Structure 1
């Protein structure tokens, strides 16, 4: 009968590899006994030794998988909080991510994770936001951040966006402005993304993807209706929109978007402060400014064309946003 390895024998051998020994010692006794039984079940002594070597290799692999890494990505097309939430939802599928830090002004994402970064990289590339790897290194000084306020923050920005969706939609119809109606749908698009981010907390990936698909197709449907209405108004003899209402409501929406950006960035790491350059590169803010300019052109030209042009542009942006949401459902 071949010699059997005892618990003491295994420990003495593992002491030659301190990292593997430490992992073995932290295991429950039942797990350690299973390893020993597996080794002793080998028919020959040389096979037992091979199994012991394999066990050491598995213990070292376990260390590598649990080791924390810090990987930085450049995401060139990440220019607003809406895209931040899309990235979070996409990466929620991965179990090895411990936390993330975003800097919109620097187009930077830092991911703290265990194991390899390749799967994270592939998920980011699938969003087509022009993602590139900056570097990846061991995060020996990692400490988990407190994200308990994030859900409350998401509800706040969702309320702000949904409020302006209702306000702009109502005033858009009353003033006859397609620019305001289109901007209201852009606000709705942001609300859908924040809502999806909230749904992703505590729900299954399949459920989240199903909701994302419904939201994406609904948004495309609204964008098509809007573009058709713009064409009809170009051809028809619609009245000139009320430019004062356009300007005033768009200014309020601009303030609302700036507030959302401020709240989201204030909650992040200290290096990601609120900066004017970040605000004015946000698509939402650019849209608000576009509607304000269009209202001035409506007044100066006494024509409905500026309002219809900005409306068509925004409906196209809403369409693009819907495509991004649909990518999350794949």
Structure 2
């Protein structure tokens, strides 16, 4: 979990820099998702030695943070759609592949948590969402590079936002379903 935390913090910084450089809503959405993942990993590490009530609150807070992130992604996509940016497809593709390599590694490390306690399951779900987002950013980067259509990036940013909101909803539902003991 500590390795996942460090990798996600590093990829947040790298992804944000790349997203700003490439003017890509998809890359920025992916980078912000990495930050929320890092927060979830930190909370999970803290929750490991705590009781069930703390673990449920930790998962709930993770879900809320992820939901707010998804809404923020929607705002960025709308801003870029109205403001008209020109994303750089090649940069999007390179950094999407780098992020995919990191997230695939972390996902394999966290696979044992996919059916674990709610706070640990949340970390697995966060990383699963990242892998899907990385693939989306790569594909949209290829479309932008080949066709010059900036809308591919905006659609990808929107879809990442929708996926993030869906994952947040699943985490929140799972937290309620398993019931908070206090």
Q: TM-score range by the shorter chain?
A: 0.7 to 0.9
Larger Rg: 1
Count, aligned residues: 161
Deviations 1:278-304 (A, max 9, x none): xxxx54333212211111111222121
| Structure 2 gap segments, 5+ residues each | 113-127, 177-182
> Which of the numbers 216, 232, 239 marks the counterpart of 2:63?
216
> Which of the numbers 155, 162, 179 marks the counterpart of 1:316?
162
Contact 2:13-2:31 within 8 A present in 1 as well: yes
Mapped partners of 1:213, 1:316: distance in 2? 19
- 1:310 shift after superposition: 0.6
User: By percentage of residues, which structure has more helix?
Assistant: 2
The aligned counterpart of 1:244 is 90
How large is the RMSD of aligned CA atoms in angstroms? 2.3
The aligned counterpart of 2:20 is 173
> Which of the numbers 165, 186, 201 marks the counterpart of 2:48?
201
Runs of 4+ in 1 over 4 A off after TM superposition: none
Mapped partners of 1:324, 1:223: distance in 2? 13
SS in structure 2 of the partner of residue 241 of structure 1 = coil
Mapped partners of 1:325, 1:297: distance in 2? 32
> Which of the numbers 103, 120, 132 marks the counterpart of 1:257?
103
Contact 2:89-2:144 within 8 A present in 1 as well: yes
Mapped partners of 2:131, 2:63: distance in 1? 22
The aligned counterpart of 2:147 is 301
Mapped partners of 2:54, 2:107: distance in 1? 28
Mapped partners of 2:15, 2:106: distance in 1? 17
| Structure 1 gap segments, 5+ residues each | 1-153, 267-281
Contact 2:67-2:168 within 8 A present in 1 as well: yes
Mapped partners of 1:328, 1:286: distance in 2? 21
Mapped partners of 1:214, 1:165: distance in 2? 20
Contact 2:33-2:69 within 8 A present in 1 as well: no
- 1:249 shift after superposition: 0.9
- Greater relative contact order (CA < 8 Å, ≥ 6 in sequence): 2
The aligned counterpart of 2:173 is 327
SS in structure 1 of the partner of residue 171 of structure 2 = helix
Mapped partners of 1:305, 1:181: distance in 2? 15
- 1:204 shift after superposition: 2.3
Normalised by the size of structure 1, how large is the TM-score?
0.44
Contact 2:25-2:154 within 8 A present in 1 as well: yes
- 1:253 shift after superposition: 0.5
Mapping for residues 47-66 of structure 1, pairs under 5 Å: none
The aligned counterpart of 1:156 is 3
SS in structure 2 of the partner of residue 297 of structure 1 = helix
Contact 1:251-1:292 within 8 A present in 2 as well: yes
Deviations 1:109-139 (A, max 9, x none): xxxxxxxxxxxxxxxxxxxxxxxxxxxxxxx
- 1:308 shift after superposition: 0.5
